[in-house]
Structure 1
Amino acid sequence: MKVGFIGLGNVGGKLAGSLLRNGYDLTVRDLDHELAQSFLDKGAHWADSPKELAEKVDLIITCLPSPAACAKVMEAADGLVHGLTTGKIWLEMSTTDDAEVRRLGALVEATGALAMDCPVSGGCHRAATGNISIFAGGSRAAFERVLPVLSTLGRRVLHTGDIGSASVLKVMTNYLATTHLCALAEALVVCKKAGLDLGTTYEAIRISSGNSFVHETESQLILNGSRDVNFTMDLVIKDVGLFDSLANQLGVPLEISPLILDIFKDGQQRFGAREWSSNIVKRLEQACDLQVLAPGFPAELVDYEPEEQGAEVVPPGRSA
């Protein structure tokens, strides 16, 4: 199967790297040609437009920073939709709005191609090793066709239902992760102010009911001081905003997500839109005139688990 990949940023570049590393015939495109050069040097092909890329390959993956960026790639005069024909497949791996991915999916399916939303979760360090988790929304027939590719890109692959369902679950999980990041910032600053050793504090959280994936990853970067989580404040606001908007549309009177948005909007105003999201702790560090730092923690996250072929995750109550 020939695969095309559009969007070689923090996550997309690592996903595309997994495809190339595992022997796929890969064609790439990004607005920044320099991002593509390392892929071209390793044998990938280049496309001058999304339309040309779609014409050259069987499976097209987009991984872009916003719904607006994806719409432009799909619908421009030289857009991806215009290169699709019957039998081709489009996978949207960006974190996006469920209504928008369904709208674009309808345009794709009008050409005879298949459409799925397949966002990832688990951090850039796991995207780099092919060990990330993938939510996959779309028909079961489409899912089974792309499962070999998805199980190369990720270790755990969950078929979530119709197109759009994966995007809902993705923004939900990003909301939960951001909520715990804000809570961890408060917890670490309080323990520092109380005079506790922060290495001990980290372990106390890790072995307790207060633990989470976010703690085991982002707390290490906070304590190191690098805060380099490969995810920025503007993207947090986008993702939590998508979750909050969905709740408003559904008439769910949320209380926490509006507060999380306010915290990050304040952080963005203070530190800049492209500041690492983990540096939200700086708001409290500045307010308390202290720094949440401890020796022995890494400056960046590395996935030390060996790369494994992925597999479908089957929810309770569903037949395998």
Structure 2
Amino acid sequence: MKIGFVGVGKMGGGLARNLIRRGYDVSVFDLNQAAVERVLEVGGKAAASITDFSSTADVIFTSLPMPRHLTDLLIDEESLLGQMKAGAVVIDVSTIDPSTARRLSDSASQEDVDFLACPLGKGPAQAEEGTQPIYAGGRPDVYQKYEPLLKDISTSVHYLGDVEQATAFKIVSNLIGMTNALVLSEGLRIGERAGIDPVLLQQLLATTGADSYQLTLRGPKMRNGDFTPGFSIHLTRKDVGLGVGMAKELNQPSPFTELALTYFDKAVDAGLGDEDCAAVYKLFDEVAPVRGAGT
């Protein structure tokens, strides 16, 4: 099985390295040469362009930042789908909206190419470890064909239905998690202003109904002022925006997500866009106003 991998940054890179470790024939392409070099440390081949593998790969993975990057690559500009051999498959692990996923899937079918939407559930560390949750969507027969491949790079693979269900799940997960990060920031600031020791505050919150994944993962970051990007505010704003857009398409009210989006807009305007989403904590510091990234 020949595999091409487009986009080997923090998330895609870990998956690509695991494919190589499992013995697959993998060619990688990324505009960031340093990202490619990190993959090549464990093996694989560097592609000068997508045309190096577009017509020969049995599987092409894509991991790109924005929905438009996928449509540009696969349909509108690079027309990758039209270059692929019949019966090949695109497995996209990006975070995209259901409407875009449907367009990509339909366009793939027109080119006699299969398509799976396989968004990811956690961060780069889990991608590297091979424990990254994968939420797959597509035709059942296509999923069944490539389920062993997905399970070679993840111990947590879940089939949700078609591409709309898989991509919607990822958006719902992110909008809940990122909205929780805002509530966590607000609550921690209130507790600290009330005179509760910050370390004790977080320890005891974890024993109550206030416990959450964000408290465990980002609570210490907020307390220690460590905003090294794991998942940046720029990406957070993108995903929350996708959530608002999806809710509107479904005619489903989303007032809290819409409010959360305004705060991530404020964070970007404050110069925090490249910092971890935990940096929204700075927005709730009335004593020391936000002064921009790294402050």
Give the TM-score, by structure 1 length. 0.85
Equivalent residue number for residue 9 of structure 1? 9
**Identity within the alignment, %:** 27
AA partner of residue 91 (structure 1) = I
Residue 273 of structure 1 corresponds to which residue in structure 2? 273
CA displacement at 1:192 relative to structure 2: 1.2
Aligned residue in 2 for 1:246: 246
Change (3 A) 1:18 1:220: farther
SS in 2 for 1:264: helix
Q: Which residue of the partner structure matches residue 288 of structure 2?
A: 289
Q: Which residue of 1 aligns with 2:293?
A: none
Match of 1:108, SS state, is helix
CA–CA distance in structure 1, aligned partners of residues 48 and 68 of structure 2 = 20
Is residue 234 of structure 1 aligned with residue 234 of structure 2?
Answer: yes
Partner of 1:264: 264
Shift of 1:46: 2.1
Q: Per the alignment, in what secondary structure is the counterpart of residue 96 of structure 2?
A: coil
1:221–1:229 contact (8 Å) kept in structure 2: no
Which amino acid is the alignment partner of residue 251 of structure 1?
A: N
Aligned residues: 290
SS of the aligned residue for 2:160 comes to strand
Q: Distance in 2 between matches of 1:276 and 1:161?
A: 32
Match of 1:244, SS state, is helix
Amino acid at match of 2:185: A
Q: Deviations over 1:24-76 (max 9, x none)?
A: 22110011222102323432112233243222321111000001111122135
RMSD (CA atoms) = 1.8
SS in 2 for 1:91: strand
**Where does the alignment leave 5 or more consecutive residues of structure 2 unmatched?**
291-295
Conserved? CA contact 2:8–2:39, under 8 Å: no
The SS at the match of 1:288 is coil
The aligned counterpart of 1:110 is: 110
Which residue number in structure 2 is paired with residue 218 of structure 1?
A: 218
Q: What's the offset of the Cα at 1:90?
A: 0.6
1:187 paired to 2:187: yes
Distance 2:219 2:15 in 1: 24
CA distance in 2, matches of 1:108, 1:269: 38
**Match of 1:121, SS?**
coil
Distance 1:128 1:229 in 2: 17
Alignment partner, residue 44 of structure 2: 44
User: How high is the TM-score relative to the length of structure 2?
Assistant: 0.92
Q: 1:41 to 1:130 in 2, by over 3 A?
A: closer
Structure 1, 194-203 or 75-84: larger mean CA deviation? 75-84
Per-residue deviation, 1:250: 1.8
Q: Residues 112-161 of structure 1, C-alpha deviation per residue, up to 9 Å, x if partnerless?
A: 12101000012222122111111100011111111122112222111111
Unmatched runs of 5 consecutive residues or more in structure 1: 292-320
Quote the Cα distance in structure 2 between the aligned partners of 1:50 and 1:82: 12
User: Does the 8 A contact of 2:229 with 2:275 survive in 1?
Assistant: no
Higher relative contact order (CA 8 A, sep 6+): 1
The one-letter amino acid paired with 1:13 is G
Deviation by residue 1:65-116 (Cα, 9 ceiling, x = unmatched)? 0011111221355442132122211111100111111111111112212101
Alignment of 1:86-105 (within 5 A): 86-105=86-105
